[in-house]
Structure 1
Amino acid sequence: MTTIHRRRPASEGGYTCGDETSARIIEAALNLFGERGYEGASTRDIAELAGVNAPALNYYFKNKEGVYSACTEYMVERIWDYLAPTIEAAQALLGTRPDTEQLIDTFCAIQSKIAEFMLVSNRTNSWRKFYAREQAGLGPSAGEEMISQRIGQRIIGVTSGIISRLMGPDASDEECILRSMTLTGQLLPFHLTRTSSLKSLGWDALTPERYAMLMGIVREQTVTLLRGLARE
């Protein structure tokens, strides 16, 4: 994996707590890039929020684009670490001869794992706006490409593969991808526009009970649609 900080030989001097310092800078940058966007967040403000001086930021990341790239890398690595076992199990299943219910259960397992990370994990709180800006194409293009290649395409590859297996050889790749995107997209309002989604429901928070209600509805809709697509 790509390292998110630079080290210098002892002869060059440098910071003794590099991992901790670079992590603080990244967490601060994730918040400010999310709140203000790439153009609106200055390296001076990022350094101040992280509790370091501006030269420390340049030492680890060279410039603002380097900080942004490190933020994206940091987020992508942690998302994939969380999702990888479920995605890889689904890929393995597709290498066998699963029946309809196995395919549907596997699709729902992926959906559930994504929901856990996006909606339940506290670690995503500082990332939500950053991720939303990336998905809207409001950051440097390299960040969007990294997320697409290392997260989005992997998820779409396996979920559209499940739908293709359910529908049979007559279904086009394009149709399977579209159906996969619309099914997994049921969760996005509560991730990318959580405040307005909760307000529409008159909720002040997504409590465990409300989360269970949401996921029950999502699973019911997903199972119904996937069974409808399955060949006899």
Structure 2
Amino acid sequence: MPSTARAPSGYRKGEETRARILDAALVEFGLGGYAAATTRQIADRAEVNLPALTYYFGGKEGLYLACAQTIVAGYRDGVGHVALDVTRALGQADMTPAEAAALLRRLMAALAHFLLSAGEASHRTLFVQREIASPGPAFEILYAELWRPGIAMAAELIARVRGGGCDEDEARLRAVMMISSLTGLVEGRDIVARAIGDPDQLDAVVAILNDQIDAMVRPA
């Protein structure tokens, strides 16, 4: 009986330690990249000893890849339910441009909240920025699990919003430009803050995206 009583507390403590290591690793890998970040720096930032990194992640590479998987998991938590609705709806051949526009607004709003919300988003952003600037194995995980399916989904919606008024290449380009406008706000947060005074205008960003989507709908 005594050991079972202690197990939940120990489990929670283990999960908290693992999460703290991941947060620290996202920052250190984001600041210096995989090659420059050291396990000592990560352990010091997480306030754990070096063996804890090996215990939870098997070493530096395992921790690095776990960071990418953590970002993917966060994306699925924040955007996954909308993406599932979009996937189901795209199976309907009779979707109208207005219906496609409504789904695209939902998808882009969910993505904006995932990318621009405060808190742990800043840690994710550091890591993603580094992978974009200097791609490593984590880049392939992020591309396969996030960027490629996200672009494909947005592009198909855009094509339907346009009522067949653009080909596949144009739809994908429009999708990339729309998604890049959000990542650009994240990456250029300091510039945005100086230009408009407040970089954290999530509602305004979503409203502007909605305007852009509505402008795509061709008159019947």
TM-score of the superposed pair, with normalisation by structure 1: 0.81
Q: Which runs of 4+ in 1 moved over 3 A?
A: 15-18, 166-172
1:92 aligns with 2:88: yes
Residue 77 of structure 1: CA displacement?
Answer: 0.9
Paired residues, number: 209
Residue 69 of structure 1: CA displacement?
Answer: 0.6
The answer to whether the Cα contact below 8 Å between 1:132 and 1:192 also exists between their aligned partners in 2 is: yes
Which residue in 1 is equivalent to 2:158? 163
Aligned partner (choices 94, 105, 119) of residue 108 of structure 1:
105
Which residue in 1 is equivalent to 2:3? none
The answer to whether the Cα contact below 8 Å between 1:31 and 1:130 also exists between their aligned partners in 2 is: yes
1:30 aligns with 2:26: yes
Residue 204 of structure 1: CA displacement?
Answer: 4.7
The answer to whether the Cα contact below 8 Å between 1:119 and 1:191 also exists between their aligned partners in 2 is: yes
Residue 43 of structure 1: CA displacement?
Answer: 0.5
Amino acid at match of 2:89: L
Structure 1 unaligned residues grouped into runs of 5+: 1-14
Inter-CA distance 164–231: structure 2 relative to 1 (3 Å threshold)? farther
The answer to whether the Cα contact below 8 Å between 2:192 and 2:198 also exists between their aligned partners in 1 is: no
Aligned-partner SS, 1:125: helix
> CA deviation digits over 1:42-87, x for unaligned, max 9?
1111111111111221222232211111111111111112111111
CA distance in 2, matches of 1:173, 1:35: 37
The answer to whether the Cα contact below 8 Å between 2:112 and 2:202 also exists between their aligned partners in 1 is: no
TM-score of the superposed pair, with normalisation by structure 2: 0.85
Residue 121 of structure 1: CA displacement?
Answer: 4.3
Inter-CA distance 151–94: structure 2 relative to 1 (3 Å threshold)? same
Which residue in 2 is equivalent to 1:123? 120
Residue 135 of structure 1: CA displacement?
Answer: 2.2
1:189 aligns with 2:180: no
Residue 165 of structure 1: CA displacement?
Answer: 2.5
Aligned partner (choices 195, 199, 204) of residue 200 of structure 1:
195
Higher helix share: 2
Which residue in 2 is equivalent to 1:214? 205
Residue 171 of structure 1: CA displacement?
Answer: 4.1
Aligned partner (choices 27, 39, 42) of residue 38 of structure 2:
42
The answer to whether the Cα contact below 8 Å between 1:37 and 1:139 also exists between their aligned partners in 2 is: no
CA distance in 1, matches of 2:169, 2:21: 41
The answer to whether the Cα contact below 8 Å between 1:26 and 1:71 also exists between their aligned partners in 2 is: yes
CA distance in 2, matches of 1:127, 1:159: 22
Identity of aligned residues (%): 27
Cα RMSD for the two superposed structures? 2.1
- Of 215-224 and 162-171, deviating more is 162-171
CA distance in 2, matches of 1:197, 1:166: 30
CA distance in 2, matches of 1:25, 1:199: 33
Amino acid at match of 2:148: Q
Which residue in 1 is equivalent to 2:57? 61
CA distance in 2, matches of 1:105, 1:164: 13
Structure 2 unaligned residues grouped into runs of 5+: 1-9
CA distance in 2, matches of 1:183, 1:164: 14
CA distance in 2, matches of 1:216, 1:166: 18
